[in-house]
Each structure stands twice: as C-alpha cells, then as structure tokens.
Amino acid sequence: MVDQVDEPIDDYLPQNGNRGYRVSRYELDLVYKVAGNRLAGRAHITAVTTGARDRFALDLSQALAVSKVFVNGAKPAKFTHQRGKLVITPRHRIPAGGALALSVHYAGPPTPVRGPWGEVGWEELTDGALVASQPNGAASWFPCDDHPSSKASYRISITTDSPYYTQANGALVRKHTKASQTTWVYEQPEPMSTYLATIQIGRYRKQRVDAPRGSVPMHAVLPPRLRVAFEHDFARQPRMMEVFTEKFGPYPFEAYTVVVTDDDLEIPIEAQGISVFGANHCDGRRGSERLVAHELAHQWFGNSLTIRQWRDIWLHEGFACYAEWIWSEASGGPSADQLARTAHRNLARLPQDLTLADPGPALMFDDRVYKRGALTLHTLRLILGDAAFFDLLRTWTTRHRHTSITTDEFTDLAGHYSTGSLRPLWDAWLYARPLPALPPLPAYEAETPTG
C-alpha cells in the first residue's frame, strides 16, 4: 500500500503529507538563476521509517523534474512523479524503525502551487524571488513531507548571482563567492514545519536593528531606498519584543529578521525566525504597526508551537491577532478590551456560519477566525484575570516549545488556571456557531484612576 491510498493525514489538505516515515532533517543544496527563474536542487532527507513499506512518497510540484533518486546511498532507485507525489521504490525493503536517507536530484522553473487559497510557494518578484508557503507551497521548491506536524531541522545552501542578497531560515554559517555567484549556507537547528521554510532573494542590504543591550538580536534585510522609512515604521519593534517576551515567555529562536521586498505585497508573511513585508508596509507613518506585532507574535504561536492539524488554525491566527491588541494596550493605544468590543460589534454583523475549532478548509484563513480567536482569548483573560491568563500563556509556550499542538491541549492546560469549569466558554466560543456575548470588564479594571 502506498501513500496515495492511505487515509488523509489532514482532511483540509488531503493530498498533502505522507505516511511511513518521520523526517528529522532536510539538507538542501540549491542553485537559482534569477533571470530565467531556473532552480536546480539536491535534497538530502534523513528520516526513520514508521512501518515496513515497499514505497515511500514525498510532495513535489510537477514543475520540477526529477532526474535521480537515491535511497540509503545505494544505486539509483525507481520512482514515479505524478500529481504532485514523488513515489520512490527502494531496491530493498526497509523494516519499521529503519534509517531512510533519501537524495533527490531535480530541476525546473519553480512556480507557486495553485489552490483554494490562491498561489503559494516560490514566487518571482520584479527582481528576485520570495517563498511564502502557507499552507501547502513548500513542494513548489523542494521534495518534502508537506504537513505542519512534520517538523525537522534544516541546512539550506542557496547559490545565486552575486548582486543578490539571499536570506533563509536560521543562522548564516558560511558564505563564499566564486566568479559571479555567491553561495549562502544557513543552519536552522530548531524543528521547523515545511511551510515555514523560506528563501528570500533581492537586491537587499542587511542592517542590525538597534535594541537595548541583552535583547534578542534583530536584523532587517531590505532595499536601500526603504531604509529611512523602515527605521521609522519599525522603530518600536524592540519594545514590542520586550512586551511579548514578558507576556508570552522567552523568544523561541536565536534571532529575528524582517525582510522587506522591493515589491508591494498584499499581506505580510511569517516564516521561522523571519517575517516578510512588502514595500507598501513601509509608508513612513507606521501604518502597518499592528501587522508588525502580528508577524512577530507568530514566532511563538505558529513557528515554535505549530498546529498538528489545520483545523486548529485559530491557535496561530487568534493568538497573533490578540497580540496586536496586547501591543496596542502596551504602547498607549486603545486597550485590548476596547479593541475586543469593537471587533465583537463588527463580527456580530457578519454571517454566523463558522465553527472556530473546525472552520473547514474554505474558511481556515477567513478574518473571522482571526478575530473570533482573539475574542476567545480575551474572554478567557476576563474570566481568569491578567495574572493567571499570562501565566497560562507563558506555561503554554514553554511546555510545548518547538512541538506540535492541538486545541484540546490548550483547553486542558487552561483548566488548571480556573477555579470553575471552562467548558461553557469552550462550547460557546470554539464549538458553537452563534457569536457569544463578551463578559463585562471587571469593575476594578473598568474604574478610571483619579489624580
């Protein structure tokens, strides 16, 4: 039995993900020609089998042609590549618990994966390229087990034309130039889901973001023309990092990098250790600061703690949306409660046909998931009080650091912080469609201090 006839790993993306093995590491050696949008790659994948199988499958776009596949260093293995699945037949059957080392040689013009959520994955820019893979675009540029529950470490080596700066996940461990090409090698040691792996290529310069001594190292990679606007629009990001570290617990990675493309982008994009913004998000007026907060919060909620199934997407987007309100409150803007009540009034005018804990693939990125998820958290905060609520969030991010999570795990943990049952809250906000009422603001918080 091969992967195509297995039960889907995730009903939201039934064609994605594969059974029979668990990947522990990807090592990608890539060469990219910007002018012709041509990618040549060798992917070395280290895995362990979870069952004895005749064949194993990887997700890989049909735009990329596979020339050779090796299994455990043997002679070239047989393979087929159809409908986005690279199915490999080892020369010898591998027992359960056995080592599975795959090496795939491939090349072609990388193109985004088309789906219900638009085009995702590798995308050409006016002068460069970006990768934005959520939820199923990783296969547009490398063979993988493309599902959020499949987390692994990465080494990404990318060779491209020397005028271009190249950013990938993790730390830059090696860089060398030969003739007209430069090779950049990045190491990402913390486990990462495939959709969070990224490469950004452009005529960029890297600069350090000024932050207090001892803070998380932060950098910007952007076109020189946007430097002044960036330094104004992102000036409060170090303070944002301080607030989120206090509220959510230690930042989960070694550093944080913001990439700003020379092109406009419809929305910013999160990747592990990286956020990607368009030139339009640097307007010189801090017009996108709430999005700066949203993308930074994803480093905790989405990148370190990653959902096991796409139906639990509110654990990413609801938390990141609520982080916007927390930042507003901390930075002298409207309070989280004020923003929550405004969002509630707006949601009340919209159709009540969404179940937050299982919105369905068509609605998984609906703005109502973001706002209702944030409102669920605000309701929980009002019930628990600030001290218990933020203690819960810090425990949540610490206990599940760099792992996969579910809604049940969060609701179970939250129960330990409440003197009463939280079941009515979860039933109303997560599993019923009608929008519940928000609890009143506690009297001691509603009082206006007097001089």
Q: What pairing do the DSSP bridges indicate for beta strands 205-208 and 165-168?
A: unpaired
Q: Can you list the alpha helix ranges (DSSP code H) found in 28-90?
A: none
281 annotated as a binding-site residue: no
Neighbour order of strands in the sheet with 21-33: 65-71, 99-108, 38-49, 21-33, 151-161, 181-193, 171-178
Tracing tokens 């480093």 back to the chain, one arrives at: 299
Q: Which two tokens stand for residue 49?
A: 């089998």
Rg from Cα positions in the chain: 23
Separation between Cα atoms, residue 207 and residue 394, nearest integer Å: 31
Q: Among residues 12, 164, 322, 370, which one is catalytic?
A: 370
Q: Among residues 270, 295, 324, 409, which one is catalytic?
A: 295
Q: Are 189 and 272 in contact (CB under 8 A)?
A: no
Q: Which two tokens stand for residue 273?
A: 């250790």
Q: Which two tokens stand for residue 350?
A: 């919209």
Question: Which residues, at least 6 apart from 8, have a Cβ–Cβ distance to it below 8 Å?
Answer: 14, 15, 17
Helix (H, G, I), strand (E, B) or coil at 112: coil
378 annotated as a binding-site residue: no
Question: Which residues, at least 6 apart from 312, have a Cβ–Cβ distance to it below 8 Å?
Answer: 357, 405, 406, 407
Q: Which two tokens stand for residue 221?
A: 């990679």
Q: Are 113 and 150 in contact (CB under 8 A)?
A: no
Asked if omega into 189 is within 30° of 0 (cis), the reply is no
Could you confirm whether 370 is annotated as catalytic? yes
Tracing tokens 């995702």 back to the chain, one arrives at: 120
Could you confirm whether 124 is annotated as catalytic? no
Question: Which residues, at least 6 apart from 282, have a Cβ–Cβ distance to it below 8 Å?
Answer: 222, 226, 229, 230, 233, 260, 288
Q: Which two tokens stand for residue 76?
A: 């070239």
**Type of residue numbered 332:** G
298 annotated as a binding-site residue: yes
Residues acting as catalytic residues: 295, 370
The annotated binding site for Zn(2+) is made up of 294, 298, 317
